Amino acid sequence: MKKLLSLLKSEKMRARFREIRYSLYVLKRNRLTYVSSLFVLFLIFIAIIGPFIVPYPEDAYGAVHPERAFKPPSFEHIFGTDDAGRDILSRVVIGTRISLSIGVIAIVLTILIGVPLGLIAGYMGGLIDEAIMRVTDMFLSLPPLLLALVFAAVMGLRGQSFNNVLVAIAIAWWPWYTRLVRGQVVSLKERPFVEAAHATGVGPLKIMFRHILPNCLTPILVQASLDFGSVILTAAGFSFLGLGAQPPTPEWGLMLSIGRYYFLNYWWLATFPGLAIFVTV
């Protein structure tokens, strides 16, 4: 019996390994996808080890060096220095972690709000479905960027912070996931495996989260990957407008906002944070 179980496990491992190899083969054949995937891995790598490899880690936050302010790009400071004499390369690299963290956390919050509502609306139907979808349509009738901006401005009356940006983005983006998941659930709940689970007495919550949700993960992940760049750009826009990160946080949008005042004489202050946003998004 033990030999049979070990054989089955080994067969499953081999099948899983074959699937991974085939996925990598398909990925390599599409050069654009392959290069994009490598770039994403590079960004994650920089976000993890960035604070440990930058030449001036103390410049990421409160350090001030008046004697080296506004120095142009050189071997000592590859991206130059800002108005406080801080190394821009160090701040841009460390800002990678901040921007990626904002994107991941905001997307997770959005999924935690939108996906359960979509599951409930699609599975329960009736008045519950109507109520959830009418609220969803109301949010979808407004541009998400404008909606997020309004919520961030209202919450910012008590002080600006990253939390305001995260909550504002989640509030603006959740309806898209609710509608996506609801459509998937409506088509899946009539499938034989769902009807069989219902016939055996399985509760609605278990059916929704154990039987239906796993079959909705692929479109959810695709939507999340498409929204990731938009979320980073939106967060940078909030910081640019003064609604997100506050000095001296090394956030790309905030660095771009400060650098615009000196752009005519000291172009590097805004150019390199702007390039970081452009390349990432």
Judged against a pLDDT cut of 60, whether residue 244 lies above it is answered with yes
Buried b or exposed e, range 222-256, using 16+ CB within 10 angstroms: ebbeebbebbbbbbbbbbbeebbbeebbbbbbbbb
Q: How far apart are the first and last CA of the chain?
A: 53
Query: What pLDDT, on a 0 to 100 scale, did the predictor assign at position 8?
Result: 43
Architecture of the 54-280 domain: Orthogonal Bundle (1.10)
Question: Residue 81 carries which DSSP code?
Answer: B
Question: Does the predicted model carry a pTM greater than 0.85?
Answer: no
pLDDT single digits (tens) 145-175: 888 888 888 876 666 677 888 888 998 899 9
Domains of the chain by residue range: 54-280
Give the confidence band of 269 by pLDDT, cuts at 50, 70, 90: very high
Compute the average pLDDT of residues 186-195.
Answer: 84
User: Is the pLDDT assigned to residue 4 strictly greater than 60?
Assistant: no
